[in-house]
Amino acid sequence: MKTSKRWSALALAALLATGLAAGTAACSTTVSAREQLSDAEITARVKSKLTADPEVSAHNIDVDTNEGVVTLSGRVSDVGQKREAEKLARATDGVRSVINNLLVGDKTG
């Protein structure tokens, strides 16, 4: 029985080590946890500003933030909305720069 328990403990330890290694590899990033949280906060603040602004159609705009660099993507109806979205993003605390990839006009194919 002691040998069986020892093997069970070793097998469990091996499984845990494998899972930990796989989890660490899946979450690897050069961005610290503090920066990731800050990026998430920046994204939330930008989205909130876009949603509150009546000049911008926020539901068509995706906001991503990486190390303080905000990327806007999606589609807006006119150049004014594109400019306003960028202006709002730039005026958000923590934003280092903005990449405005918003497309203007209806999607035609």
pLDDT 10s digits, 2-56: 555 555 555 555 555 555 444 444 455 676 776 666 999 999 999 999 999 999 9
For the beta carbon of residue 50, count every other beta carbon within 10 angstroms.
23
Distance CA 66, CA 68 (A): 5
Using DSSP, state whether 50 is helix, strand or coil: helix
Instruction: Quote the pTM value.
Output: 0.67
Structure tokens given for 18? 């494998």
Residue with tokens 């589609």: 75
Q: Give counts: helices (H), strands (E), the chain.
A: 3, 3
